[in-house]
Structure formats: C-alpha cells, structure tokens
Amino acid sequence: EPKRSLEPEEHEKLRTQMDDLYQRLLPSDESEGRRAQLVKKLDRLLNTEWPGNDIRVNVFGSSGNLLASSDSDVDICITTPLKKLESMHSIAMLLHKNGMEKVVCRASAKVPIVKCWDPELNLAADLNVNNPLALENTRMIKTYVQLDDRVRPLAKIIKYWTKRRILNDAAFGGTISSYTWICMIINFLQRRDPPILPSLQKKAEERKQPENGKIPQFADNLDELKSFGGANKETLPDLLFQFFRHYGYEFEYSKYVVSVKEGRLLSRQEKGWDPANHYEKEARNRLCVEEPFTLNRNLGNSADDYAWSGIHGEIRRAFELLADGCQLEKCCEEYEFP
C-alpha cells in the first residue's frame, strides 16, 4: 500500500521546495516582453505582405493559458478570411525571407503548421492558420487556471517535471502533450473531495439561456465561480503528492476515461472505448483522456501501450521520491538516456 499522506514536517519541507521552484518557473518580464514583440512583428509582416485581409495574430497554448515558462515556444494562430494562407507554404516563404531561421513547413499534418526560430528575439514559434478550436480550448484552460490559486503553481511544477523527464512531446517521443497533462491535472482537481474545480462546460449548460439563444461553450464568469473550490483546504504539497499517488497507483486505466467536460471519470463502456472492443483490443491499459471539445478524440492515443507503461513508471518514480523524504529536486532531475 503506497503511503497515504505526508507527515507535517515533510509537508513543510515540500512546501518550501515547491515555493522556490514555482518562483523560478515564472516567466521573466523580459521573456514576456519578447513574446509580445514577436506577435507584433508577425502582425506587421503579414499585414504588409497581404494588406486588407484582416489578418490577426493570436497566441494560444502556454503563451495564452498562464502556464508558460521563459523557455516555452510561442504557439500562434493566425486568423484571416484569406484561404490561400491555410496551406502555410506562402507564410513559410515570407518568414524565411524576413530572417526567420529553421523554417519548417508541416503542410500535411492534421493541423498544418510552420515552425520557426527567431534569432533576433531568441524564440521558437509554431504557427497555424484558422484553428478556432485551439483558441477556444486555450481560453478555457486559462479560465480553469484563474479559478483557484493552487492550479497555476501545481500545473507549472508538474509541467516542469514532464519536461525534465521527457514525458511531454506527443510528436517526438510517443509520449503525451502538455495539453494532455493539463487535462489530467484539471480532471484530478475536479475529482477531489470536495472538488477544487467545477466543469466549466457543465456550468455553461446549467445557466439560463441567454436572450440571443447562443449558449457559450464554457462558463467564464470568473467572479461568480472563484469561490467554487473554497471548501477544499488541501495544500499544494498535498495535491502534488496526491496527484502522483492517484495516477501512479489509484487510477484504473483499463476501466476509466478522464473527462474534463463532465468533470468526472467516464467508464470505458459508457464512452465506447471499451478495451473489449476489437479495435481497441491492444489498448487495454492505455491512458484515455477525452478532448474537451472534440469528444471522440482520445488525447492519450499519442502514447501506445509500451510508451504509456514507461510514463506510468515515471509517475510512480516521482511518487516514491516524494514519499521517501520529499526529494523534489531528484524527482525533477533531468532524464539521462541509458
């Protein structure tokens, strides 16, 4: 039986370590400034090249959800009615012409993107065109982060751990994306007793229909929702410890699906992702995380069963290191390839 909770002196030790780490992870004003400059620069470049096309440069991902560090990439979504930009080729050319380096165009990806490096501002960027879903789910994550003061430090520390242990690159390592981890964190907080976070999507459904008949996708009335988690008194050290305990030992991966939309777990049967189904037969123990707006999308799919068992092992490693004398630094030690 894995240790249930932290002793008072362990709790204090972990609190100090988490406070220190969180301070280090907050993006500097200088790096925030560079991010803003990049947006301005791209806005100018694009609107000079294709004037009169209402081209807007929006940030999404960690640059828009309050979970960026100084070294995070900038995720950028360009919106415009000018359809020819959607293929990304002409944008890639424009960036290249204007001094951007390492310009790579992934035109055939599900969401076509261009990657580039700005040597002047020292920033990497991922750009796509007309992807409203990404803007909307970023705004929802940001709302969750703002709802309770514990979310931001907890999520930033867990994200840092995933980065250091190479557990957050869905494209490269057969692991899962930061976005997937964030959904796991939100759902964990929705399922605490009493809950720390509500389901913002359910809150939106519950509300009286507005006059214009347009129901928002999720509730964003921060002022009213801010008191939601107040009855839960768990501290940051408790939550970090319980996060690793939960996903390391308690969660039954073969039975349940993480659902931020519902704010609870769904059974695999209810979701239709039953491991007994023929096409999911090999996916017996794999992580299942429902994308909050595209419900048939399993964000856990980027890791196959083998990759997932490695990630699961890393979650247990983190738990053991915290349970055995709160070794947060060792827990987040840079992974070394054997």
* CB nearer to Mg ion: pick between 61 and 198: 61
> Least distance to Mg ion from the beta carbon of 145, Å?
15
- Does position 75 interact with Mg ion (CB under 5 A)? The reply is yes
> Least distance to ligand ATP from the beta carbon of 212, Å?
26
Residue 166 burial (10 A CB sphere; 0-12, 13-18, 19+): middle
Question: Which amino acid, residue 15?
Answer: R
> Least distance to ligand ATP from the beta carbon of 168, Å?
6
Dist CA 105 CA 205 (whole Å)? 39
For Cα atoms 174, 299, 170, give the angle at the middle one, nearest 5 degrees.
Answer: 25
> Least distance to ligand ATP from the beta carbon of 73, Å?
5
Binding-site residue total for Mg ion (CB under 5 A)?
3
> Least distance to Mg ion from the beta carbon of 106, Å?
15
> Least distance to ligand ATP from the beta carbon of 70, Å?
11
Dist CA 326 CA 317 (whole Å)? 12
Q: Residue 204: which H helix or E strand, with range?
A: helix 200-206
* CB nearer to ligand ATP: pick between 237 and 292: 292
Partner whose binding site includes residue 162, from Mg ion, ligand ATP, none (CB under 5 to 8 Å by kind): none
Residue 160 burial (10 A CB sphere; 0-12, 13-18, 19+): middle
Q: Residues in the site for ligand ATP, rule: CB under 6 A? A: 60-62, 65, 67-68, 72-73, 75, 133-134, 137-138, 141, 168, 177-179, 291, 299
Partner whose binding site includes residue 262, from ligand ATP, Mg ion, none (CB under 5 to 8 Å by kind): none
Binding mask 31-70 for Mg ion (x = CB under 5 A): ------------------------------xx--------
Tokens representing 139 are 């705004």
Residue whose C-beta lies closest to ligand ATP:
61
- Does position 263 interact with Mg ion (CB under 5 A)? The reply is no
- Does position 27 interact with Mg ion (CB under 5 A)? The reply is no
Helices 151-164 and 8-25 pack at an angle, to 10 degrees, of 80
Partner whose binding site includes residue 118, from ligand ATP, Mg ion, none (CB under 5 to 8 Å by kind): none
Q: Are 254 and 285 in contact (CB under 8 A)?
A: yes
* CB nearer to ligand ATP: pick between 179 and 253: 179
Q: Which of 140, 86, 138, 81 is nearest to 112 (CA)?
A: 86
Q: Which of 316, 286, 313, 318 is nearest to 302 (CA)?
A: 286
Q: Interface with Mg ion by CB under 5 A: which residues?
A: 61-62, 75
